[in-house]
Structure 1
Amino acid sequence: MTGAWKKAISGLAAAAMLALTACSGSDSSPLGISIIDPATKTNLDAARLEPGAAYLRAATSQGLVRLDALGNIVPGLAERWIVTDDGLSYIFRLRNARWENGDTVTSEHVAAALKRRLQIEARSAIGADTAEVRDIRSMTGRVIEIRLLSPQPELLRILALPELGIRRNGSGTGPLAANRQEYWTLLTERVDDSLAPDLRRMVRPLQVRTESAAKSIARFSLGESAMVLGGRFEHLPYLSAAGISDNDVRADPVAGLFGLLVVNGKGFLGDPANREAIALAIDRDALMTPLGIGQWQTTTRIVPLGMGRYQPLIGDRWTDLSLDQRRDLARGRIVRWRQANAALPELRIAMPRGPGARLVFGRIQRDLEAVGLSARRVAPDARADIVLIDEVAHYRQPGWFLNQLACAVRPLCNQEGDVLLAQARRAVDPAVRMAKMAEAEVAITSANIFIPLGTPVRFSLVKGNVPGFAITADGWHALPDMVVIPR
């Protein structure tokens, strides 16, 4: 049992009798939900949303569209929409809605808010996903149009992201209302006055806490919450320490990027061949073994196979080499570097906090030592040479994976691949778009700036069958659907 776990379990046990539980009382009693979040403050308007802020923003500040419990796109502020045949214009008709202060929502409000947010996201992966947005304009009081320079087939799914939830003067339009308490946020459904009383749904409030993994899992093990959201690989050791039943663990079959990103391109790491040496040294099959993951999906690819009409120009790497042969190749490059240059640096690798990250880093450190490299683990926000990237794909197209590594997003990138990626975004013909992306993948892969390791890990903890919760392909669990009590 780790020190963090002991501290969390003792503090929560003392408060157990006073807590408002989610598993007792009537069906309309609050549903207790803990969201694992390393942040000490929840800022719904931050440039980068931490997990708690993302869930609360999505719940209280919906976008033009949003995701339901199953991950489907459903109406948000827009009651309906059309897409022109050329895919260059999305026209949304807004429903009647009001801001928290009672003011009527207008298309001018929405267009201005969405423009502001896209400016904030300009140097993020979302900015890369929306780079082809040419204009956002109000057409009438309730109609808004988004014009594109080239088609973006996944635009609706992008607009459903929490970051693109519509806010004005620090407030949104629901579908839930937030009442901040001392230790939690109480989310309740905003009343729709347009519905007759007999047509309104039976609902319950959500009692949402954003807290550390240790506290979240401790609270769940004591029966003080019905659900924990936001579990990642670094949190897995807490489950065995808490005695969490396998029946309570819900793993999401996500795709995304999980690997090492080089952020310092100087010295030893300035040579793509040396960066490849790191990739060659790592035993991917054994990386997650300390966490008890028996069938973790490893990869040497940036873009996974099976992406629709996408035809990659590069296959899995080093399939003709054994691990020992790969390490011999890496070791030879490192010896040659040492002979021609000063002493090798100690590589600073930024990893998330948590016992699982310590265990995985231990494997990486040992693998690098096997080829003559030394490494030190540093905090996620510390100065580093390499950082662990652990991101879930918001949509399963090659563009998402490559946009994560664009020059506008990452401090170290491949210029050739970036140019090809920009050409792909501008392509109107889908076949040309896919071909340019395949060329971009080859260039970015060959640069060895990102070292793919495997598939991200995402899980939740759920007591029994909670209505409104479902396993999803993107690891996102919409809070608004959880307030509904089935009749």
Structure 2
Amino acid sequence: MTGVWARTIWPCATTAALLLAGCNASDTSPLGISIIDPSPVNNLDAATLAPAAEYLRAATSQGLVRLDSLGNIVPALAERWIVTDDGLSYIFRLRNARWENGDAVTSEHVAAALRRRLTIEARSAIGADTAEVRDIRAMTGRVIEIRLLAPQPDLLRILALPELGIRRNGRGTGPLVADRRQYWTLLTERVDDAIDPAMRPRVRPLQVRTESAARAIARFSLGEVSMVLGGRFEHLPYLSPASVPDNAVRADPVIGLFGLLVVNDKGFLGDPANREAIALAIDREGLMTPLGIGQWQTMTRIVPLGLDRYAPLAGDRWTDLPLAQRRDLARGRVARWREEHDAMPVLRIAMPTGPGSRIVFARIKRDLVTIGLEGRMVGADAPADLRLIDDVAHYRQPAWFLNRLACAVQPVCDKDGDVLLAQARRATDPAVRASRMAEAELSMTSANIYIPLGAPVRFSLVTRNVPGFAITADGWHALPDMVAIPR
């Protein structure tokens, strides 16, 4: 599997099972897609969207803008927009659009839907991303303005998130329409009567299933679907038993947060130095090796190096200390705590379900034992001391990373860093904003509220060069772009 993450160009699959789907780009039969998500019927209006709900909401409830198959921002409900020179106002001109019942979409509808969703997201990471939003106004029947307290350079990319897709009375405006069947959802393109029938592109429906990783990967191996979306590190061990060829695996070069969040700051974890001891003990280089990932990007910091217009105040941590010396230092801290408390620290670590998760936890547990700590794996939603976070960055700025560690979002946080982060969000001068972000990162790093491990893992399975599918930097694959068939 090592070669999967080194390759970026993939030929059409040629095994007998995969030939069932073929490589004919002009085929108008339904395209079978499985989305890895074992949850039951998905609520598209839930406060927290399940993976399949994100895809279905984005496909049937477009926002002002959306992401195309390459991850670019393209028009959706808004046909065009302008940003004022000071970056404090975004003005959108809506296209002529209608709800499923035929009513015209107005700026009042859109403004109300956005305000409602941002209220739901107020204490989420998306709420932190949109903290600069001051007001959302309907100016005329087809114009909407979003006013900001301070510039948010990535606002358009945030508005393209599935959560901010525009819905009214449980319905969206497309571009696809969902027909729920017993075992799958059929997505078809909404017909735009304003387009001359002779000019409409040839399209095909999408037959979308929501199922567990084991079922989705087995179905792909049998040729029953042409694509599987939503692959993560915990799903990798399913690929080999299913005989999935390397050239069917499309790995996305994502960045984000993949590490252990401190969610209980009592006992041993109440001291930042003890929390750092855990970070010191983990062998990041060997963590993903059993999963066949030979080129995994390890991390010892919150914000990756190399982001545009960002100068961090500290580099990678512990670069001058070999793993053995790091563990010696950590072992001493654990020993002192045990002497003072006459107890063996047992850390409950919340991990997702899946064989890859059990394998990675076994490595973490082994590393903790070397410094005198015991780890116990618990379910992702169970009470825990540490919780694995595995999120892909929606935009590549330090704010995305730090917002996910804000006090409004996490139960254990760094209050000093949070103040600096709030100052950064309110700064109108880009230089001041970047400086405060760097100070916030340094403070949160010193508090050791998050133990970085590496970059998230995201992959899809594709039997052929499916029109509309592409490897992306954010791991998102827009379903609407898979409907059209190239002429």
TM-score in terms of structure 1 length = 0.95
Q: After the TM superposition, which of the residue ranges 341-350 and 259-268 deviates more from structure 2?
A: 341-350
Cα drift, residue 273 of structure 1:
0.5
- Looking at structure 2, the residues matched to 479 and 141 of structure 1 have their Cα atoms a distance apart, in angstroms, of 29
- Looking at structure 1, the residues matched to 173 and 459 of structure 2 have their Cα atoms a distance apart, in angstroms, of 29
**1:135 alignment counterpart:** 135
SS class of match (2:127): helix
- Looking at structure 2, the residues matched to 279 and 24 of structure 1 have their Cα atoms a distance apart, in angstroms, of 47
Whether the 8 Å CA contact 1:97–1:104 is kept in 2: the answer is yes
Whether the 8 Å CA contact 1:65–1:160 is kept in 2: the answer is yes
Q: Percent identity?
A: 79
- Looking at structure 2, the residues matched to 370 and 184 of structure 1 have their Cα atoms a distance apart, in angstroms, of 48
**1:60 alignment counterpart:** 60
**1:233 alignment counterpart:** 233
Cα drift, residue 346 of structure 1:
1.3
Cα drift, residue 363 of structure 1:
0.1
Residue pairs, 1:33-432, within 5 angstroms = 33-432=33-432
Q: After the TM superposition, which of the residue ranges 37-46 and 311-320 deviates more from structure 2?
A: 37-46
Cα drift, residue 72 of structure 1:
0.3
- Looking at structure 2, the residues matched to 266 and 198 of structure 1 have their Cα atoms a distance apart, in angstroms, of 67
- Looking at structure 1, the residues matched to 151 and 36 of structure 2 have their Cα atoms a distance apart, in angstroms, of 36
Cα drift, residue 476 of structure 1:
0.1
SS class of match (2:105): coil
Question: Which residue type is aligned with residue 299 of structure 1?
Answer: M
Whether the 8 Å CA contact 2:229–2:461 is kept in 1: the answer is yes
Question: Which residue type is aligned with residue 143 of structure 1?
Answer: V
Cα drift, residue 181 of structure 1:
0.3
SS class of match (1:303): coil
For each residue in 1:299-339, what CA deviation from the matched residue of structure 2 results, as whole angstroms up to 9, or x when unmatched? 10100011111000011111111100000000000000011
- Looking at structure 2, the residues matched to 199 and 475 of structure 1 have their Cα atoms a distance apart, in angstroms, of 32
Whether the 8 Å CA contact 2:407–2:413 is kept in 1: the answer is yes
SS class of match (1:240): coil
The verdict on how the C-alpha distance between 1:164 and 1:22 changes in structure 2, with shifts beyond 3 A counting, is: farther
Whether the 8 Å CA contact 2:138–2:144 is kept in 1: the answer is yes
- The unaligned stretches of length 5 or more in structure 1 are 1-16
Cα drift, residue 344 of structure 1:
2.4
- Looking at structure 2, the residues matched to 443 and 341 of structure 1 have their Cα atoms a distance apart, in angstroms, of 28
Q: In the alignment, does 2:439 pair up with 1:434?
A: no
- The unaligned stretches of length 5 or more in structure 2 are 1-16
**1:460 alignment counterpart:** 460
Whether the 8 Å CA contact 1:23–1:31 is kept in 2: the answer is no
For each residue in 1:158-183, what CA deviation from the matched residue of structure 2 results, as whole angstroms up to 9, or x when unmatched? 00000000000000000000000000
Question: Which residue type is aligned with residue 460 of structure 1?
Answer: S
Cα drift, residue 241 of structure 1:
1.1
**1:444 alignment counterpart:** 444
**2:478 alignment counterpart:** 478
- Looking at structure 1, the residues matched to 151 and 23 of structure 2 have their Cα atoms a distance apart, in angstroms, of 50
Whether the 8 Å CA contact 1:23–1:223 is kept in 2: the answer is no
Whether the 8 Å CA contact 1:111–1:138 is kept in 2: the answer is yes
Cα drift, residue 445 of structure 1:
0.3
- Looking at structure 2, the residues matched to 102 and 353 of structure 1 have their Cα atoms a distance apart, in angstroms, of 43
**2:7 alignment counterpart:** none
Cα drift, residue 345 of structure 1:
3.0
- Looking at structure 1, the residues matched to 172 and 195 of structure 2 have their Cα atoms a distance apart, in angstroms, of 20
- Looking at structure 1, the residues matched to 207 and 461 of structure 2 have their Cα atoms a distance apart, in angstroms, of 16
- Looking at structure 2, the residues matched to 342 and 425 of structure 1 have their Cα atoms a distance apart, in angstroms, of 45
Cα drift, residue 40 of structure 1:
2.0
Whether the 8 Å CA contact 2:21–2:463 is kept in 1: the answer is no
Question: Which residue type is aligned with residue 165 of structure 1?
Answer: G
TM-score in terms of structure 2 length = 0.95
Question: Which residue type is aligned with residue 87 of structure 2?
Answer: G
For each residue in 1:245-281, what CA deviation from the matched residue of structure 2 results, as whole angstroms up to 9, or x when unmatched? 0000000000000000010000110000000000000
- Looking at structure 1, the residues matched to 349 and 31 of structure 2 have their Cα atoms a distance apart, in angstroms, of 39
- Looking at structure 1, the residues matched to 74 and 211 of structure 2 have their Cα atoms a distance apart, in angstroms, of 29
Question: Which residue type is aligned with residue 378 of structure 1?
Answer: V
**1:30 alignment counterpart:** 30
Structure 1 residue runs of 4 or more that deviate by more than 4 Å after TM superposition: 21-26
For each residue in 1:425-460, what CA deviation from the matched residue of structure 2 results, as whole angstroms up to 9, or x when unmatched? 000000000000000000000000100000000000
For each residue in 1:79-138, what CA deviation from the matched residue of structure 2 results, as whole angstroms up to 9, or x when unmatched? 000000000000001000011111110000000000000000011110000001000010
For each residue in 1:335-385, what CA deviation from the matched residue of structure 2 results, as whole angstroms up to 9, or x when unmatched? 000111131231100000000000000000000001000011001011111
- Looking at structure 2, the residues matched to 325 and 163 of structure 1 have their Cα atoms a distance apart, in angstroms, of 45
Whether the 8 Å CA contact 2:22–2:464 is kept in 1: the answer is no
- Looking at structure 2, the residues matched to 344 and 392 of structure 1 have their Cα atoms a distance apart, in angstroms, of 35
- Looking at structure 1, the residues matched to 293 and 27 of structure 2 have their Cα atoms a distance apart, in angstroms, of 36
- Looking at structure 1, the residues matched to 199 and 140 of structure 2 have their Cα atoms a distance apart, in angstroms, of 30
Whether the 8 Å CA contact 1:261–1:450 is kept in 2: the answer is yes
For each residue in 1:58-83, what CA deviation from the matched residue of structure 2 results, as whole angstroms up to 9, or x when unmatched? 00000000000000000010000000
